[in-house]
Structure 1
Amino acid sequence: MLQIKGLSKKFGNKQVIDQLDLDIPTGSILSVVGPSGGGKTTFLRILAGLETADEGTFLLDGQAFSPELLKEDEQVVGVVFQDFQLFPHLSVFDNITLAPKLVLKESKEKYTEKARKLADQLGISELLENYPFQLSGGQKQRVALARAMAMEPKVLAYDEPTSALDPALRQQVEELILGLKENGVTQIVVTHDLAFAKNIADNLLEVSPIK
């Protein structure tokens, strides 16, 4: 279980997150929904160690950790950001395997097998030699997800996974997230789409800008 206690974050005089408490059971899906300015992306960036919380305690299965102090190979939360952040000069295969190779120090045999398994699981096996400019938005999203999963984080998080997708791709993302849940993956989904959030969530957190 991922537990967050008393999380607060302020930018200047603006309080973005104020004493947030959350329990996210292993294998469950938490949807965080609300308009822009409610702190949703800031919350994900703190979990990923990209922002530092002003206050708050983080526990995974009862063990305290600090997201910003974790070593690269100790990732707890892997985040798929809205713009995917793929390396344009690398193939899909190289995008997926770069971090396992350089950070986890995996052998070529291991990271190659991992990439092929993830690609098969996510339906992108035929795209491994392609480059990001050759991919659709939905395909880029799956590559970004495979890259996050390759680091074997305890929790997967998504920032607005349906924002640029048409209804058919939105349905595919929904099925993908629910499929990962069946495999026991703990997930956090940040979205402004309430209907989508309700379709996938075990628990729903509605946020709004703090006055």
Structure 2
Amino acid sequence: MLELKAINKSFGDKKVIDNLNLEIPDGSILAIVGPSGGGKTTLLRTLAGLETADSGTFLLNGQAFDPANTKNQEQVVGVVFQDFQLFPHLSVRDNITLAPKMVLKETAEVYNQKAQHLAEQLGIESLLDQYPFQLSGGQKQRLAIARAMAMDPEVLAYDEPTSALDPELRQQVEQLILNLKTQGITQIVVTHDLVFAEHIADNILKVVPK
């Protein structure tokens, strides 16, 4: 279980996260819903260690940890960014295997097997030798998910996963997230789309701008 206790974050005089308490059970989906300016993305970036909380405690299975200082081999939250942040000069396979190779120091046999497994799991196994510019928006998103999962995070988080997708692709993303849930993957979804959140989430946290 991932727990947040009394988390606070400000930028100057603006309080973005105010004494937040959360519990995210293993295998569940939490949707964080609200308009821009409510702190959704800041919370996600803080969980991923890209921002530092001003105060409060993070716990994983009862053990305190600092998202900004976890060892790379112990990544807690893997993030699928809104713009995907893929490496355009690398193939699909190399996008997936780069971090396991460079950060986790896995062998070629291990990281290539992992890439093959994740690609099959996410339905992009026929695209491993293609490049991001050759992919559709939905395929890029699946690649971004595979790349995040390749680091073996405890929690998979998404920043506005449906913002640039048409209704058909939105439904595909919904099904993908629910399929990952059946595999026991804990997920956090930041979205402005309440209907989408209600379709996928076990729990919904609604935020409003301060």
What interval of TM-score do these two structures reach, taking the shorter chain for normalisation? Answer: over 0.9
In structure 2, the residue matched to 1:177 is 177
Q: In the alignment, does 2:8 pair up with 1:25?
A: no
Residues 63-97 of structure 1, C-alpha deviations (whole Å, 9 max, x = no match): 00000011222100000010100001000000000
Q: In the alignment, does 2:42 pair up with 1:35?
A: no
SS in 1 for 2:139: helix
Residues 131-156 of structure 1, C-alpha deviations (whole Å, 9 max, x = no match): 11111111100000000000000000
In structure 2, the residue matched to 1:57 is 57
Tell me, in whole angstroms, the C-alpha distance in 2 between the residues paired with 1:25 and 1:175: 20
Aligned residues: 210
- Which letter maps to 1:70? T
In structure 1, the residue matched to 2:75 is 75
In structure 1, the residue matched to 2:98 is 98
What stretches of structure 1 move > 6 A for 4+ residues in a row?
A: none
Tell me, in whole angstroms, the C-alpha distance in 2 between the residues paired with 1:81 and 1:55: 25
TM-score between both structures, scaled by the size of structure 2:
0.99
Tell me, in whole angstroms, the C-alpha distance in 1 between the residues paired with 2:127 and 2:40: 31
CA RMSD of aligned residues (A): 0.5
Runs (5+) with no aligned partner, structure 1: none
Tell me, in whole angstroms, the C-alpha distance in 2 between the residues paired with 1:65 and 1:99: 22
TM-score between both structures, scaled by the size of structure 1:
0.99
- Which letter maps to 1:204? I
Tell me, in whole angstroms, the C-alpha distance in 1 between the residues paired with 2:174 and 2:207: 21
- Which letter maps to 2:157? A
5 Å-filtered alignment, 1:52-201, equals 52-201=52-201
- What displacement does 1:19 show? 0.3
Residues 8-27 of structure 1, C-alpha deviations (whole Å, 9 max, x = no match): 10001111010000000000
Tell me, in whole angstroms, the C-alpha distance in 2 between the residues paired with 1:190 and 1:102: 29
